Structure 1
Amino acid sequence: MTLDELKIRLKIPLNDTSQDAYLQVALEDAISFVKRYCRDDFVDGLPGDVKQAVAKLVKAFQEDGRVASQSLGDMEKSFFEGGTMNEVERLLKPYARKVRFV
């Protein structure tokens, strides 16, 4: 997954480079997490839903997890604890390999 693809998924204009250094580090961290979680190096590339999970992780890194809800005029946004991670786990579940002890 490239930085440009991440920016598209996060709806950040490609010509906006103000966050590129942070986004690149966050992207690397999220991919590392996904590889460990799934116990898979994805040598053939990340499938689309895994890329979606990576983007959600990066977005979660950017948000303040302590906010329960926020409103701006007519718009209101609510968060619930673990919501992003629940969605990430749902997306990654088909790829997660279980450890077997023999």
Structure 2
Amino acid sequence: MKLEELKVRLKIPAEDSKQDAYLKVALDDAIEDVQKHCNDSFTDSETDELKLPGGVKQAITKLVKAYQENSNVQSQSLGDMRKSFFEGGTMNEVIRLLKPYVKKKVRFL
């Protein structure tokens, strides 16, 4: 997943480069977190290229967005608009999206 695709998924205009440095770091962190969680590098064995399925890309995008948001906010109001957060909501969604891609670790006794 490239920065350009992440910006599209986050609805950030391509010409808006103010957050690019941060988004690159957050994208790398999110990919690494997903690889660890799924026990899969998502690397094509023939080309050694990163190949992320759509569901994994969705999870990575949600993680990057969660990194940006203040997760300590429980309720927020601005005029008629209200936004509430509940503990673990984003992470529960990420885990749900990643569930089909998790590889079980094999243990030999």
The interval holding the TM-score normalised by the smaller chain is: over 0.9
Where does residue 66 of structure 2 map in the other structure?
60
Q: Aligned pair 1:6/2:12, yes or no?
A: no
Runs of 4+ with >4 A deviation: none
Show structure 2 runs of 5+ residues with no match. Answer: 45-50
Q: Secondary structure at the match of 1:100?
A: coil
Larger Rg: 2
TM-score (norm 1): 0.96
Name the stretch that deviates more: 69-78 or 55-64. 69-78
Q: Secondary structure at the match of 1:80?
A: coil
Percent of residue pairs identical: 67
Where does residue 31 of structure 1 map in the other structure?
31
Please give the root-mean-square deviation of Cα atoms over the aligned residues, in Å: 0.8
**Counterpart Cα distance in 2 of 1:48 and 1:80:** 26
**Counterpart Cα distance in 1 of 2:84 and 2:104:** 33
Show structure 1 runs of 5+ residues with no match. Answer: none
